[in-house]
């Protein structure tokens, strides 16, 4: 299965990336597109994302491979931005194309749960009073933990 | 071996990366953190709560008891907040 994985400063076009998996083919019946966006919590004026470049690509690819072992997929795109972002800006994109919606929804959620805990990015929030590193959330660890290790067999999509 | 630091670990140490040459008795990730902590005030401040710091050897997540022999690069960082 082909996958597109990109780390970049620039914004991305979610609709365009999703369209890529449908263009010129008729075996894709479901495309799920998730966009993570920078919010403005309690006076956050900007957020800077630091990352570990080589590890980020390798780690995201590892999780895409894992998703492909668990569900029958036709294509995956993951784009993660880094650098200084403002509230309202896109941070991360996950697109999953499959024959049916069960696999597309499940794989997209699985990938986002892992991106939240295992992808080497660190967020620093700026407020009027100063900048602080965001702490990892227990809820994110719990969400990632509920995906039992892949048995090597594909889960039923529907 | 090359050691990399990220986020507030990097800020406390004062550098993004460096080459280190620990003695042979430093065998695990945890022992390396203790050895680094002893290098100076800023290192001690960075590694004072080792249980909070995560590590990756050659870009793969590892536990504190993982051996460091043969590692080309080791990264230390707080829990990740991507996505």
DSSP codes of every residue in chain A: --EEEEEESS---HHHHHHHTTTT-S---EEEEEEEE----TT--EEEEEE-HHHHHHHHHHHHHHHHHHS--SEEEEEEE-EEE-TT-EEEEEEEEESSHHHHHHHHHHHHHHHHHHS-EEEEEEETTEEEEPPPPHHHHHHHHTSPPP-SSPPP--
Q: B52 at the A interface (CB within 8 A)? A: no
Residue B64 placed within a domain: yes
Q: At which residue do the structure tokens 């050895």 appear?
A: B35
**Residue B41 — left, alpha, or beta (φ > 0 → left; ψ -120 to 50 → alpha)?**
alpha
| The predicted structure's pLDDT at residue A143 | 84
Residue A103 placed within a domain: yes
How far does the CA of residue B27 sit from the closest CA of chain A (Å)? 23
Residue A90 placed within a domain: yes
Mean pLDDT, to the nearest integer, of A133-141?
86
Which one of A8, A38, A55, A65 makes the best mutation probe of the B interface by having the most chain B beta carbons within 10 Å? A55
* pLDDT under 70: residue ranges of chain B: none
Q: B46 at the A interface (CB within 8 A)? A: no
Residue A156 placed within a domain: no
Mean pLDDT, to the nearest integer, of A29-53?
95
pLDDT per position as a tens digit, A112-121: 999 998 999 9
What percentage of chain A exceeds 90 in pLDDT? Answer: 79
Q: In this predicted model, which residue has the larger pLDDT, A105 or A149?
A: A105
Q: Check residue B50 and report its DSSP letter.
A: G
pTM: 0.91
Q: How confident is the model at residue A156 (pLDDT cuts 50, 70, 90)?
A: very low
Please tell me the total count of domains within chain A: 1
pLDDT at residue A103 above 70?
yes
Q: B23 at the A interface (CB within 8 A)? A: no
CATH code of the domain in which A35 resides? 3.90.1170.40
């Amino acid at each position: 299965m082909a996958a597109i994985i990109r780390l970049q400063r620039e914004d991305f076009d979610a609709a365009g990336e999703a369209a890529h998996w449908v263009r010129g083919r008729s075996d894709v019946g479901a495309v799920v597109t998730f966009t993570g966006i920078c919010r403005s919590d309690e006076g956050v004026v900007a957020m800077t994302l630091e990352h570990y470049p080589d590890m980020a690509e390798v780690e995201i690819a590892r999780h895409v491979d894992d998703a492909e072992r668990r569900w029958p997929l036709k294509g995956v795109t993951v784009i993660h931005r880094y650098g200084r972002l403002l509230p309202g800006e896109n941070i991360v994109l996950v697109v999953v194309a499959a024959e049916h919606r069960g696999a597309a929804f499940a794989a997209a959620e699985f990938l986002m749960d892992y991106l939240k805990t295992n992808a080497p990015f660190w967020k620093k929030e700026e407020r009027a009073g100063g900048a602080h590193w965001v702490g990892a959330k227990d809820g994110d660890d719990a969400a990632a933990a509920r995906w039992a290790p892949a048995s090597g067999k594909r889960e039923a999509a529907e | 071996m090359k050691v990399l630091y990220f986020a507030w670990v990097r800020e406390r140490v004062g550098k993004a990366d460096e080459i280190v040459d620990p003695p042979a008795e430093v065998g695990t990730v945890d022992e390396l953190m203790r050895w680094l902590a002893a290098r100076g005030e800023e290192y001690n401040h960075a590694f004072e709560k080792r249980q909070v710091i995560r590590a990756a050897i050659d870009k793969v997540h590892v536990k504190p008891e993982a051996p460091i022999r043969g590692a080309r690069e080791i990264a230390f960082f707080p829990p990740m907040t991507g996505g």
